[in-house]
Chains A and B, each alone.
Chain A
Amino acid sequence: METNEAASQPTPEQARAALADADEVRASVAALSATPWPVWFVVAITAMFVVLPIALGGMLAEPDWLMPRWAWLVTMLATEVLFFALFAVAARNWRARTGVALRLDVLPTWATVAAAVVLPLIVVGAAYAFRDTRQPLWLFGAVAVGVALSVGFHLWFVRLHGKAS
């Protein structure tokens, strides 16, 4: 058992070694924190990014597009409820598998903030553009961005996890 007495002020070499030791532990744990989500959840979140822009577009469409607006609203809400239920299950399983807390700051802040701000703007913007132009390409464009983001983030986690391991 190490004692406090043994831990008198270290020399620069000892301090450097202690910092290096701490950094090594950090790197090892960072690999755990970057453990990618299971593929089934990546598929679920990607599916949500497919449904959401189209459902929002249908909800805002005037006149109705493919089905009544209330049906699009129900579709969107059901998708959200299902997604959050799956997220709860996936998060619980992830914590149980890794043994560490789920953190939202594994990826660089700029990437997380950009995704959290830009994606909703694109989804909502595409829905309004669709309402004004009746061109579904706007919605499909938003779907493509969402899918690319979902897959890209997953691959980023896979890379971080492999690199840190």
Chain B
Amino acid sequence: MSTNAADPMSGFDTTIHAPNRLRICALLDTAGEAEFGVVQEQLGVSASVLSKHVTVLMEAGYVEQRKAVRDTRQRVWLALTRQGREAFRAHQAALRAIVGP
């Protein structure tokens, strides 16, 4: 996705804009990296719903995951990719442009 500094609306991203995906991106942008269960808890969604949204974001190249052990169990950690972070911030700028001054 290309972003044009002169036109914030070019950053509007339909993949990110879906409410839960926007919240996932906001969470990961703030946290840096978060465990799947924490994201689920913060968003108040089921594991399957979160998994579907994460899959969409991963297919878009916006989110990456890694597996690590927490409390002796293997957990999935999620993080925004560089592309995802840029897309999310551009999308936020587009939303602000829509809201106006």
Contacts and interface: CB of A to CB of B under 8 A. Distances in A.
Interface of A: 1-4, 6-12, 15-16, 18-19, 21-23, 25-26, 28-30, 32-33, 95-96, 98-101, 103
Given A12-B98, A29-B27, A100-B31, 9 more contacts: A1-B52, A2-B18, A4-B15, A9-B9, A19-B92, A23-B26, A26-B30, A32-B31, A100-B38
Given A4-B15, A25-B27, A99-B70, A19 B34 contact: no
B20 interface: yes
29 contacts: A1-B52, A1-B53, A2-B20, A4-B18, A7-B14, A8-B14, A9-B12, A18-B22, A19-B99, A21-B19, A21-B22, A21-B26, A22-B23, A22-B26, A22-B92, A23-B26, A25-B23, A26-B26, A29-B26, A29-B30, A29-B31, A33-B30, A98-B38, A99-B35, A101-B33, A101-B34, A101-B79, A103-B31, A103-B32
B58 interface: no
B43 to A, nearest CB: 7
Closest 7 CB pairs of A and B: A99-B38, A2-B18, A101-B32, A99-B35, A22-B26, A101-B33, A15-B98
Contacts of A28: 42
Contacts of B17: 7, 10, 18
Contacts of B15: 4
B7 interface: no
A10 B14 contact: no
Contacts of B19: 2, 18, 21
Contacts of A32: 31, 38
Given A15-B95, A15-B99, A18-B95, A6 B18 contact: yes
B31 A7 contact: no
